[in-house]
Amino acid sequence: MIAAMHGQLRRVPLPCRRFAEGTGGIIAKIISRAMAILFSCLLADPAWGQNTGALSGTVEDATGEYMIGADVRLRNQITGQEFSTSSDEESQFRFDRVAFGDYLLIVNVQGFKSAEVSVKVGERKESPIRVPLQIAGSADSVTVSANSESMPTAGQNIDVIELDRCRSQAFELQFEQSLVESKANFAKGNLGH
């Protein structure tokens, strides 16, 4: 600091300056860097949001009921960059700080058809998007299989199964009888000679 005394200027030593000079200027460097970081953060925040927007909306079924936990993805049509979130307990979703551009909004919920909506994120604040989902169609076919003989499969009739069992048992019985007869004939043939 400079002080004027009797028409003459002279330096007045300050205690903090002596401390800073005594530490080799380290504290002065730290303070100046901290100030630079602080100002750059303050100036960068408004610049950050200049080319970004937000997108929000709700996911509902065909009757307007909430769809909690829906998988919501936002894909940039040019870059392919994708953001994802889930709908909350009020069926709402939101994407913040999204770069301006054309996007594809993709919504998936198990048991419902996937919904795809083209959206544009721009400077103008858009009203929330409502995404209604339709129930997925039923399956065309059902396949049932069983390895156990005691359980009929979906395409079989129980009477047919029982008839097959009876035939099988009758065949086994006939086979056993012919085997017994063959043994008996063999024994007679061997004893008779």
The pLDDT value given to residue 30: 76
Contact (CB, 8 A) for 64 and 128:
no
Last residue of a domain, one of 84, 112, 133: 133
The pLDDT value given to residue 61: 92
The pLDDT value given to residue 105: 96
Q: Please indicate, yes or no, whether residues 39 and 63 belong to a single structural domain of this protein.
A: no
Q: Please indicate, yes or no, whether residues 15 and 57 belong to a single structural domain of this protein.
A: no
Q: Please indicate, yes or no, whether residues 68 and 124 belong to a single structural domain of this protein.
A: yes
The pLDDT value given to residue 87: 95
**In-domain check, residue 57:** yes
Q: Please indicate, yes or no, whether residues 69 and 108 belong to a single structural domain of this protein.
A: yes
Contacts of 67 (CB under 8 A, 6+ apart): 59, 60, 61, 87, 91, 109, 112, 133
The pLDDT value given to residue 186: 59
**Chain position carrying tokens 């998988």:** 71
The pLDDT value given to residue 154: 57
The pLDDT value given to residue 49: 45
Euclidean distance between CA atoms 91 and 170, whole angstroms:
66
User: Mind listing the pLDDT tens digit of every residue in the chain (193 residues)?
Assistant: 455 555 666 666 656 555 555 555 677 677 777 666 655 544 444 445 468 999 999 999 989 999 999 999 999 999 999 999 999 999 999 999 999 999 999 999 999 999 999 999 987 777 899 999 999 876 555 566 656 555 555 555 555 556 566 566 665 657 666 665 766 665 566 555 5
**In-domain check, residue 176:** no
Q: Please indicate, yes or no, whether residues 16 and 27 belong to a single structural domain of this protein.
A: yes
Q: Please indicate, yes or no, whether residues 24 and 69 belong to a single structural domain of this protein.
A: no
Q: Please indicate, yes or no, whether residues 23 and 68 belong to a single structural domain of this protein.
A: no
Closest CA to 162 of 173, 170, 177: 170
The pLDDT value given to residue 146: 57
Q: Please indicate, yes or no, whether residues 96 and 31 belong to a single structural domain of this protein.
A: no
Whole-model pTM over 0.85: no
Contact (CB, 8 A) for 108 and 71:
yes
Query: Position 18: which residue type?
Result: R
Q: Please indicate, yes or no, whether residues 57 and 35 belong to a single structural domain of this protein.
A: no
**In-domain check, residue 94:** yes
Q: Please indicate, yes or no, whether residues 111 and 42 belong to a single structural domain of this protein.
A: no
**How many independent structural domains does the chain possess?**
2
CA geometry: angle 22, 28, 31, nearest 5 deg: 145
Last residue of a domain, one of 112, 133, 154: 133
**In-domain check, residue 35:** yes
Q: What is the DSSP letter of 61?
A: E
Q: Please indicate, yes or no, whether residues 38 and 55 belong to a single structural domain of this protein.
A: no
Helix 15-22 / helix 26-48 crossing angle, nearest 10 deg: 100
**In-domain check, residue 61:** yes
The pLDDT value given to residue 153: 58
**In-domain check, residue 152:** no
The pLDDT value given to residue 47: 43
What is the CATH number for 74? 2.60.40.10
Q: Which domain holds residue 126?
A: 51-133
Strands (E), the chain: 2-5, 8-11, 52-61, 71-76, 82-86, 92-99, 101-108, 115-121, 129-133
